[in-house]
Amino acid sequence: MLRGKAALVTGSTSGIGLGIARALAGQGCAVMLNGFGEPAEIETIRETLAQEHDVPVSYSDADLSQPDDIAALVAMTADQLGGLDILVNNAGIQHTAPVTDFPADIWEMIIAIMLTGAFHAIQHALPHMQEKGWGRIVNTSSVHGLVASVQKSAYVSAKHGIMGLTKTVALETAGQGITCNAINPGFVRTELVQAQIDDRAQKIGASVEEAARNMLSEKQPSLEFVTPEQIGALCVFLCSDAAAQITGVPIPIDGGWTAQ
């Protein structure tokens, strides 16, 4: 379905971003991977994706907190993959602390990567989409783009912020063959969430699996984690023609979290 298209997925060396990159490659889409990690592991991911799906797959270690890196990342995607049709703003980090103790430098970093980074990526990517009269922007927001939780002031602010950016870009691109939407996942068991599960296990003196169940029972009525594969499939749907008139909306995929 996406053969001939090119996608940049930020933060795709693990977790949700990798799930999205796999799903897009599975539809024949060329993919630019981005993120940090062990170079040898990333090269294995890149090669496997390219071979399994017979698509071009490139990688860049651009730092999404650095505007110059983002400009270079978009240019590299267009050069190496022959365009940029799909942009998935997904790179992200987490830090938990009460607002009174929240380190100011970590606040700045979270906003820089998850909100300002998405702004720069969209600004550089849109001309490539406008040239072709087709484009898809998918922002990995979160349930925390819709509701809050304690100790996550920077994360919740960045994720609410990207909802505003999503709606504005949707309005500015309406009628141009381009859509801009947000995916709002509940808990997905990635490295980012595993760190929170491990902390909780220590705090409540429980096993890691008990802590995981305890965490789900507080927020996610299905009591099951959302998977990167499910989010990848949702992203593929948003890139389809069937979704051409869906724009400017949050799409929760959260086991009922935000229905409460």
Closest separation between CB of residue 176 and ligand NAD, Å? 26
Candidates 92, 85, 73; CA nearest to 129 is 85
Task: Give least dist CB 35 to ligand NAD, A.
Answer: 3
Quote the radius of gyration of the chain (alpha carbons, Å).
18
Strand arrangement, sheet containing 6-9: 57-60, 30-34, 6-9, 86-89, 135-140, 178-185, 250-253
Residue placing its CB nearer to ligand NAD in the complex, 27 or 190: 190
What minimum distance in Å lies between the beta carbon of 253 and ligand NAD? 9
Interaction site with ligand NAD (CB under 6 A) = 10-17, 34-37, 63-65, 90-93, 113-114, 140, 142, 185, 187-188, 190-193
Residue 175 backbone zone (phi > 0: left; psi -120 to 50: alpha; other: beta): left
Of 136 and 152, which has the nearer Cβ to ligand NAD? 152
Active-site residue, 59 included? no
Q: 3-class SS at 206?
A: coil
Taking CA atoms, 202 is separated from 78, 98, 118, 193, in Å, by: 46, 18, 34, 15
Catalytic residue among 58, 73, 78, 155: 155
DSSP string, 50-64: HHHHT--EEEE---T
- 27 or 65, CB closer to ligand NAD? 65
The count of residues in the chain is 260
Tokens of 119: 């702004």
Q: What is residue 221's DSSP assignment?
A: T
Return the closest-CA partner of residue 94 out of 113, 79, 69.
Answer: 113
Question: Smaller CB distance to ligand NAD: residue 166 or 190?
Answer: 190
What values do phi and psi take at 86, rounded to 5?
-130, 125
Residues serving a catalytic function are 155
